[in-house]
Amino acid sequence: MLEIERKMLEIRKSQDDIGVATLSMNRLPIFEPTTRPSHKVRTFEGKYGKMIVKGRLGQVHKSLLETILYKRKFYDLRVEENKVRLTVLFNEYEVKKYMSQGSVYNKETYNRLLDDMSVAQIRLQKGIEYVEGSLITSKLKSKLYSRLTKSNLPDLRGKEIPYVMMELGDVASLLLATELRFTYDPKPIMELKYGISQALVRFLITHKNHPVVGYHLKTLIENLKENVEGHVWKDIRRYLKEDAERLEKLGIVIDFKKDRLFVIQDTLTLKSF
């Protein structure tokens, strides 16, 4: 890791953006469309591929992964034994503060989300190709890079806190290295109340053009969840209604009488590459 970190510091000024998400990360429900996921085995097959996820992954995990990539300082992308390895350097305090709503993000919640992403096993298949593995492999304190905290908390004030080196797992590394990638500020999405709303926005911003006549809402949601019938559909509509005002601020308007969704403007700063 020390050799990788030295390499990061040497090439940091010339590094390209690696994005915060990819097509599959946002178009397949790798992350369950809820902020309260449970540990289980989920299978899904749709127009964008097939997947099996064993573990607990939801939109809160997606928000954390996006924030780490959004706030990362440097990264190292390499191929070892025919496997892609992506390592990122970031400030944990910065990430937790960015995800908070006015106070520092709960340390126990933060560590639990990282643990979930380390142990969850994912298998994705697109056509005849597939990738399987985890989202995170390891996390170590940096030996070369630290920062003096600006926190007013007594136990943090004036303390030199090492940055963290995190190696992403096979799935996250390969997708970020090979797929169409997207960069956007995850904060406005995190501020939506419900996971289905967050997943919906993440899905929509991977599309360059949107139909003038709008999307059929239920058909759209079927890209994000395997079962949208009966009481499940009623709950989804209720959640979206409660988030309607916040969604409109992001340029998304839903006509609940006709169950149609319109993207009227792109208010999220988005870059794809």
Nearest to 25 by CA among 138, 207, 179, 232: 179
pLDDT in the model for residue 28: 96
Confidence of residue 93 (pLDDT cuts 50, 70, 90): confident
Express each pLDDT in 13-50 by its tens digit. Answer: 566 788 999 999 999 999 999 999 999 999 999 999 99
Q: Give CA–CA dist 17/179, Å, rounded.
A: 13
Lay out the sheet containing 271-272: strands in order across.
Answer: 21-22, 181-183, 271-272
Structure-token pair, residue 127 = 């056509």
Instruction: Give residue for tokens 């390209």.
Output: 16
Q: Give CA–CA dist 104/121, Å, rounded.
A: 29
Q: Which residues contact 50 (CB under 8 A, 6 or more apart)?
A: 43, 44, 124, 125, 126
Express each pLDDT in 20-29 by its tens digit. Answer: 999 999 999 9
DSSP state letters, 150-214: ---STTTTT-EEEEEEEEE-HHHHHHHHHS-EEE--SHHHHTSSSHHHHHHHHHHTT-S---TT-
Are 24 and 122 in contact, with CB atoms under 8 Å apart? no
Burial readout 56-89 (b: 16 or more C-beta within 10 A, e: otherwise): bbbbbbbbbbbbbbbbbbbbbbeeeeeebbbbbb
The answer to whether residue 245 scores a pLDDT higher than 80 is yes
Return phi, psi of residue 156, to 5°. Answer: -120, -20
The answer to whether residue 78 scores a pLDDT higher than 90 is no
Express each pLDDT in 96-152 by its tens digit. Answer: 989 886 555 688 999 999 999 999 999 999 776 789 999 999 988 877 767 756 655
Which three-class secondary structure state does DSSP give residue 256?
A: coil
Are 99 and 105 in contact, with CB atoms under 8 Å apart? yes
Express each pLDDT in 169-224 by its tens digit. Answer: 999 999 999 999 999 999 999 999 999 999 999 999 999 889 999 999 999 999 99
Are 5 and 146 in contact, with CB atoms under 8 Å apart? no
The answer to whether residue 5 scores a pLDDT higher than 60 is no
**pTM value?**
0.89
Confidence of residue 90 (pLDDT cuts 50, 70, 90): very high
Residue/partner pairs of 251-259 with CB below 8 Å, 24 or more apart: 252/200, 252/201, 252/204, 254/217, 255/214, 259/216, 259/217, 259/218
Return phi, psi of residue 56, to 5°. Answer: -120, 105
